[in-house]
Amino acid sequence: MKFKNYIDNNYFVIANCYFILGIVLSLLVILLNVNEIYLALGFIMLVIIIMLMLHFYGRSYRFIRSSLVIRIGFFKKKIALKDIKKSYITENNRISYATSKKRIGILLKNSKQEIFISPEKMDEVLIKLINSTGGKKKC
């Protein structure tokens, strides 16, 4: 089962302004064609911005067999459902995989690592996480 990522309006506006500004500046450098170094720099900036856009907008969460797979752009993180100690809904601004203020926190058993995700259908994902960890709801 695949879930799309939810993006808050604040994150969406800030990211779009950043990407649009970067694309415009890259295209200006390419179109003005001052010299070869700036032309190469413009193309490099454009490639970096496109990769960052894929990283920001290409997020999804998928349950495959007995694991949760977090996909962000070209990267994947696989979390075994048996390794999840606690899952809950929280609102914070910590740096994480989540792109919204309201997010699901996942605490792993073997480490003190806490992972935050922000799927569009938070209730469905949380129910799936709770059911897969033995039905123990911890808040």
Q: pLDDT of 54-110, one tens digit each?
A: 877 788 888 888 888 988 888 888 988 888 888 888 887 777 767 778 888 888 888
CA distance 104 to 95: 13
Question: Residue 135: what pLDDT?
Answer: 58
Instruction: Give the whole-angstrom CA distance, residue 115 versus residue 79.
Output: 10
The rounded distance, in Å, linking the Cα atoms of 3 and 15 is 21
Which tens digit of pLDDT belongs to each residue from 2-48? 887 777 777 777 778 888 888 888 888 778 877 788 778 878 888 88
Which residues, other chains included, contact 107 with Cβ-Cβ below 8 Å and sequence gap of 6+?
84, 85, 86, 87, 113, 114
Residue 129 confidence class, pLDDT cut points 50, 70, 90 = confident
